[in-house]
Chains A and B, each alone.
Chain A
Amino acid sequence: MKTGISKAVERTDARKKIRGEAEYIADRHFEEQLYAKTIRSSKAKARILEIRLPEMPADYFAVGRNDVPGLNRMRTVVSDHPIFAEEQVEYIGQPLFLLVGPDREKLCDLADMVNIRYEEEAGVFTLEEAEKQDTVFTDYQYRKGDPAAAFRDAAQIIEEEFRTGYQEHAYLEPQGIAAEYRNGILYVYGSMQCPYYVRNALLETMAIPDKQIRIIQTVTGGAFGGKEEFPSLTACQVAVAAKKTEKPVMMIYDRDEDIRCSTKRHPSLIRCRAALDKNNAVTGLEMDVLLNAGAYNGLSPVVLQRALFSATGVYDIPHLRVRGRNYRTNMTPSGAFRGFGAPQSIFAIEMLMLQIAVRLGEDPLEYKMRHALKQGSQTCTGGKVREEVKLPEIVGKIRKMSAYVKKQKNKKPFSGIGASLFLHGCGFTGRGESDIRGKVILSKDKDSVTLRVSSVEMGQGAETVLRKIVAQSLDIPIEKVNYAQVDTGAVPDSGPTVASRTTMIVGGLLQECAKEMKARWRECDRLEIEKVYQHPSWLHWDDSTFQGDAYPVYSWGANIAEVEVDPISYEISVKKIYAVYDVGVPVDLRTLDGQMQGGIAQGIGWATIELMEGEAGRLKQSNLTDYKVPTSMDTPEMEIAYVNNPYPYGPFGAKCAGELPFVGSPPAVAAAVSDALGRKINYIPLTPESLMESDNED
């Protein structure tokens, strides 16, 4: 793995970022530029009775729903979020209108003078309240085998309930976007993952043809899903403002505004019932997944789908009944976040399997492995596991690395060790890839080539990895491969930069282009090759019944966590994480290690310290003083290894990698805490407050 495609190269974006030369959207300045400040609802649910604006000085404008030329809704999976609120507001922080003008200080002064009268209504905030009032947005179900029989014939039935909390993306660079009209064309610049989502939203909101819109991604300082759908909203807002004012309009969020008003990871409540046969094997599972979608449904239905299709984790459970509901609440909308619903389900299934094993007095890792999927197994949706499942090798390796058995035996009080097994479906869920039909272009000009995709570099290493795939396929130096500026006027729609799909799907298409180009290298100086994604004919999916191959292939992994719990304060110290992954073939070991380390740390944060609570529609932790993400001091030493398992349809054998590590670390840490304290863990984050409180109840 130290040679060929896996051998690390210098990240192509590293130097300009380290030197401070990278130009983020907030570094840009447009001639005659105006700034936009968003005026937001201070009520969780209310009717707007009156909006009183201060007298606006020359060059200052209020921009609201009456200025929207087209549809006042942000286009996404469910296009229900108003660009600007109408008569009704549904969450604290919902955008009402913009104040736009040349001076940011003046805008703050004007904002302080805005007066809004509301008629408040009763809101719904928690999943419990939502369930009681039945404010359901989406309700999905599927089944496999004969669950009724499995439960009827069960020797034992085990029921558990699991909860996970909000999570904030906390990307380094807050949301930022700008719009300007030049020669009749609308240009939008900004920090984003999905330039074509932004374009599609603008088509409807601005009611103009696509020839008149260009979306240009600027250097993006982290996203984690938080810049998947959300920039579509802000882009529409600044575009409306640019049209009305006839000036460029820039909008940069402050950190606390970003935390309060952008999307979050869905809090979940997951109810499980497992049927065990007389041999103690889990033969049946009922899982009921409840997600808090917030005030608008947006892309929550797809998040819910991934949660449901990850319900059984790495386990082969023959009889299943799975149900999932997205609930409407008067909270800021939940949205895309690394893992996309899967982390909630994987946490539940991993803790359930652990608890069953502990109850039966079995070794958790061995008990779990007895249920593991194998090549040829049926997935939870009745699809087929086509690849070789290397879990036995993964588990063998991680046991050895971590000295798991020895450490289990020599346990000190308040220290614990825990393991997780997990998978992640690569690429879009269900028909996603065949609907998007990603397109890429590779063009050659003498001895250098340019790749054109709409997949963005956002800190994850896409630029390096895609250039490297092309360079190695063509056998030319990486410097000879240009990554075209992501501009919808100049690059095709290779799909959004989400779902761990960029390397495998987009990289795969680029490799096909490169192979063809190599064969025709001498044909002429200039050559352009275009490829469009073809969904493999052997993959079947029925969206109405949720039956078939939810994903073309999976990446797999195991984590072992060692923790210490402070016996006085109940603070958790994660001491060490061991991780072994099968991501097919690593395309660049250093970039991959970066993803794995970051994902593990972000998962530890979600599982331990990242507490975000709603309180009557308000987020109690709404700045980085109160909401804490892990620092290097909170991040343990990590030992990471890979198992090679080339995927024949991925570039150089690569599968997906970006979300996988996030899915794995929370249940491993929770299992270790459970081991340290000798008690069941049914929720995260495991704050010292909650651990001490439940200790008092014991």
Chain B
Amino acid sequence: MLDGYLPAKLSEALDMMAECDCIPFAGGTDLMVQHARGSGVRPCFDKTLLFVSALKELKTFDLMGKTLRIGAAVTLSELLENAATPQIFKEILRQMAAAPTRHMATLAGNICNASPAGDTLPYLYAMDAEVILQSRNETRVLPVADFITAPKRTQRKNDELLTGIRIPAAEFNVESYRKLGQRKGMSLTKASFLGLASTANGRIEDIRIALGSVAPHIVRSRKIESKLTGKNIKDIPGILQELQKDYSALIRPIDDARSTAAYRKQVSLRLIRDFLINCMLKKIP
């Protein structure tokens, strides 16, 4: 079955979401692959599609104070072209898929797909980003980390659309991102690491570490991060083992066609170590 609506306005879209059980369809770069039945055959969806990528209300991109607000229909390419997009986020986006896919794919789709391998997620977790969920009668705001409950599961109710993403601003002077795939371009992530920190006078003021594809959810722990905040950088080596042990308990990867659990675990710990030792120590004045 293949039925779809192309609403002209957001309110129309929300009406449809309220009245019938629809699948929101943005770039379709996940949906089309997941529902493919073979070449020359239409994909098979068990519900009506609601095409959201043409909704003007969702094409917005602005700064409210210091918070970046990204509409749900903004594509990854548009994010890459926008001057307001932080450099480290651009580095992440540039390593996603390739240009043709990025022209279609949206940030909202990457979030709602809720895959632990979703490449924008470590950044959104690290930045304490929030999603805006709208239904005909209600608007809610949830942290991305709460919105995603399990692989492929979110808190989105049947009648809700994700309409926007908010990323609060934060400044860092240490930034490190590594995406490991099976090859250098056009590859899904087998493990990823994001480390962000701001330091002053050899002290850590803020530090955020997030890892993708190495557990059923994105790994980020404020508890472990708090062991580092306020510390002198030169004291990191002394607590490194403890920190690695803490992270090791959270990193629970699997064996699959793209990598092994053992590799994912070890490489994650190595990346954490590299960030904490090699990247951070450079910041000792």
Contacts and interface: CB of A to CB of B under 8 A. Distances in A.
B254 interface: no
A584 B187 CA distance: 40
Contacts of A621: 257
B178 interface: yes
Q: Chain A contact residues (Cβ within 8 angstroms of B): what range?
A: 20 to 34
Interface string B255-272: 001111011001100110
A693 B267 CA distance: 11
Contact of A633 (B184, B258, B266): B184
B155 to A, nearest CB: 28
B241 interface: no
B38 A634 contact: no
A634 B185 CA distance: 7
Contacts of B37: 105, 108
A569 B192 CA distance: 11
B182 A628 contact: yes
Given A104-B40, A254-B39, A571-B180, A628 B262 contact: no
B81 to A, nearest CB: 21
Contact of B263 (A254, A609, A633, A688): A688
A620 interface: yes
Interface string A100-120: 000011001000000000000
A634 B263 contact: no
A634 B267 contact: no
B48 to A, nearest CB: 18
Among B180, B185, B257, B263, find the residue whose CB has the most chain A CB atoms closer than 10 A. Answer: B257
B183 interface: yes
B83 interface: no
A133 interface: no
A585 interface: no
Given A568-B270, A689-B260, A692-B266, A631 B41 contact: no
B163 to A, nearest CB: 30
B42 interface: yes
A630 B181 CA distance: 12
Nearest to B39: A254
Interface string A671-698: 0000000000000000011001100100
Interface class of chain B by DSSP: loop
Contacts of A620: 257
A628 to B, nearest CB: 4
Contacts of A35: 40
A105 B38 CA distance: 9
A93 to B, nearest CB: 15
Contact of A631 (B40, B184, B258, B267): B184
Interface string B153-189: 0000000000000000000000000101111111110
Given A625-B188, A692-B266, A693-B263, A108 B38 contact: yes
B274 interface: yes
A626 interface: yes
A692 B263 contact: yes
Contacts of B267: 568-570, 688, 692
A3 interface: no
Contacts, number: 68
A622 B256 CA distance: 12
A252 interface: yes
Contacts of B183: 609, 628, 630-631, 633-634
Contacts of A568: 178, 267, 270-271, 274
Interface in B20-69: 37-42
B232 to A, nearest CB: 25
A277 B40 CA distance: 64
A183 interface: no
A279 interface: no
B267 to A, nearest CB: 5
B182 A633 contact: no
Q: Chain B contact residues (Cβ within 8 angstroms of A): what range?
A: 20 to 34
A688 B271 CA distance: 14
A632 interface: yes
A104 B260 CA distance: 37
A613 to B, nearest CB: 8
Contacts of B259: 689
A626 B188 CA distance: 8
Nearest to B258: A626
Contacts of B182: 609, 611, 628
A230 B178 CA distance: 41
A628 B258 CA distance: 9
Among A26, A620, A628, find the residue whose CB has the most chain B CB atoms closer than 10 A. Answer: A628
Given A568-B274, A693-B263, A108 B41 contact: yes
A171 to B, nearest CB: 15
A221 to B, nearest CB: 14
Contact of B180 (A26, A254, A569, A622): A569
A166 to B, nearest CB: 13
A631 B262 contact: no
Contacts of B178: 568-569
Given A108-B37, A568-B267, A626-B257, A632 B185 contact: yes
A270 B37 CA distance: 41
A254 B183 CA distance: 23
A105 B257 contact: no
Contacts of A628: 181-183, 187
Contacts of B262: 689, 693
Given A104-B41, A108-B37, A252-B40, A569 B185 contact: no
Contacts of B260: 689, 693
Interface string A599-630: 00000000001010000000011100110101
A573 to B, nearest CB: 8
A621 B180 CA distance: 18
A632 B186 CA distance: 10
Interface string A551-571: 000000000000000001111
A397 B270 CA distance: 41
Contacts of B41: 104-105, 108
A573 B186 CA distance: 16
Contacts of A633: 183-185
Given A568-B267, A692-B266, A631 B39 contact: no
Nearest to B38: A254
B69 to A, nearest CB: 32
Interface string B226-268: 0000000000000000000000000000000111101100110
Among B40, B180, B182, find the residue whose CB has the most chain A CB atoms closer than 10 A. Answer: B182
Interface string B201-231: 0000000000000000000000000000000
Given A689-B260, A689-B262, 9 more contacts: A35-B40, A108-B41, A568-B274, A569-B178, A609-B183, A631-B183, A633-B185, A693-B263, A696-B266
> Across chains A and B, which 8 residue pairs bring their CB atoms closest together, nearest first?
A633-B185, A633-B184, A626-B257, A628-B182, A689-B263, A631-B185, A628-B183, A254-B38
8 contacts: A104-B41, A108-B37, A568-B270, A569-B178, A621-B257, A633-B183, A689-B262, A696-B266
